[in-house]
A and B are shown apart, each in its own frame.
Chain A
């Protein structure tokens, strides 16, 4: 089973809202990632968690706040987003070498 699940599939939020994206994997992977993808562009790395500790933050604005409650779950908390933050948000997990992506959450900020 190489499945990463993400909820919700779609999210529309206003600039003053607070919302969270959720990601789950049960493959025993110890590294989990958040990416942002704009149309016709490759995924851009945002955060990496390794063994439930934040190991990479790619200078992401503080309106995005990641959380890793346990080895299977990854959250991305959103607050005071801007319309330019509208994108596909992808979660991924990896064992040592291969990296698997979830289906993504399509976020629209009004």
Chain B
């Protein structure tokens, strides 16, 4: 069993839809949670960072962490074609510790 599970998709939605991306994990020691967006043939771009449980909002993006369920989510409101990319969740146990990635979910937003 992988430490972090993420549905690879692909996920296709119409423009304007609300997108929900999710990861589950098995190690309760994870405390730091990140979401990256990666466009084709580019490096991952840090979208959201959350420490421990709770919600964080930045514009159209909301990250949620539920440590009791070992489940993290990224919501994208009013999705745009420019949001089409692969979204990677990542987490680590300690500050400076090794980052463990999910497999990435490929998202396509159709105009």
Contacts and interface: CB of A to CB of B under 8 A. Distances in A.
B72 interface: no
Interface of A: 2, 4, 6, 31, 40-43, 45, 48, 50, 56, 88, 90, 94, 96-104, 106
A90 B44 contact: yes
B67 to A, nearest CB: 16
Interface centre among A50, A56, A99 (most CB of B within 10 A): A99
Nearest to B96: A31
B95 A98 contact: no
B76 interface: no
A45 B43 contact: no
A27 B88 CA distance: 23
A76 B89 CA distance: 26
B46 interface: yes
10 contacts: A40-B104, A40-B106, A41-B104, A42-B102, A42-B103, A45-B99, A88-B41, A88-B43, A97-B95, A99-B90
A100 B96 CA distance: 12
Contacts of A4: 43
B59 to A, nearest CB: 16
Nearest to A10: B41
A102 B43 contact: yes
B43 A103 contact: yes
B49 A96 contact: no
A96 B98 contact: no
Given A88-B41, A104-B42, A42 B104 contact: yes
B96 A50 contact: yes
A42 B43 contact: no
Given A96-B95, A97-B95, A43 B44 contact: yes
B103 A41 contact: yes
B41 A42 contact: no
Contacts of A2: 46
